[in-house]
Amino acid sequence: MSKAATEVVEAGREGQKAVVTGGAGFIGSHVADRLVELGYDVTVLDDLSTGRRENITHLSEHPSFRFVQGSILDKDLLRDLFRGTTFVFHQAAITSVPRSVQAPEATHEANATGALLALMAAREAGVAHFVMASSCAVYGDTLTLPKREDMSPHPQSPYAVSKLAAEAYCTVFTQLYGLPTTALRYFNVYGPRQNPDSEYAAVIPKFIRAALDGAHLTLYGSGQQSRDFIYVADVVEANLLAATRGLTGVYNVGSGGAVSIRALADMVLRAAGSDSTTIVEEPRAGDIMVSQADISHLAQHGYAPSTPLEKGIEQTSAAMRSPGVNGLTHDPKSGVSERDATSP
């Protein structure tokens, strides 16, 4: 375990309260797992529109865990849940670029309005720190690599616009009202608990499912689009670092490297031991070509992703082939559960 991870573990305080919005979703459920491990009283809020109850079933009997089914747009519910809370981890969102192209109004309401209402409730409740899941999509399709937090954003989808608006609200609430906030720009998160059957499933679980089933792996456009893939346990650590160290502002959360989707397909086929082939379809609207994170800003505070892509794919493939509890496996050395993730 790294020094930074050790400090995060030591930061856990029995009886302190944490709320995870969207906590039955893929990344949110992993954050909830880790908080319970660290001794926090954890409340998960999720409307189960995309989150899955089975992602948190294993926590249901834990005395310090509570699940509330409800909407991020319910002001009274947010006020209720945030009362006496130390940390809010705001993961609730519509995370699909293609879906946002089809339904921009719903995406804005969930992502931008939802973040605003959560910030208002956090301010009223005197929350110590508010951490929000943002996205590398705000950078758009600029050719400059790697992406740095001080670069001008160029959002190319309603999803990206909604996340940029939510980031701006975080900044304003810190500047005007003194609420400490962090916006974490996730790059392509993956691991063992994402639903590969969704129409908007992230590429790694979708590729793995196809490889295990002997089906084609579908590439959109040239397949030379590059992405920065980051394992979910590393994303969980970034959230905890931001909250427990009181970091404010915007930070990239990625691996610092990049791989093409075509090369990724080859890695998945090797990990799955599959002889499936790839096929090519038309590019998708709103998709970007290149994405790679500069993670030096967060690294200054101890962030150090520790799972190489090949290892992460192997672990994810193994979990999807022989899932444990809710498709979750556990690494006793790290104390962090390995799970599935989405690609915000």
Residues known to be catalytic? 159
Q: What φ, ψ does residue 129 adopt, rounded to 5°? A: -160, 140
Which structure tokens are listed for 45? 């809020």
Q: Is 330 exposed, middle or buried (0-12, 13-18, 19+ CB in 10 A)?
A: middle
The strand pair at 229-231 and 188-190 is best described as parallel
Note the helical H segments in 12-149: 26-37, 75-82, 97-102, 104-108, 114-125
Helices (H), 42-148: 75-82, 97-102, 104-108, 114-125
Task: Single out the residue of 141, 143, 71, 156 nearest to residue 106, CA to CA.
Answer: 71
Count Cβ atoms within 10 A of the Cβ of residue 205 and give its class: 0-12 exposed, 13-18 middle, 19 or more buried: buried
Centroid of chain to Cα 179: 22
CA 22 to chain centre: 10
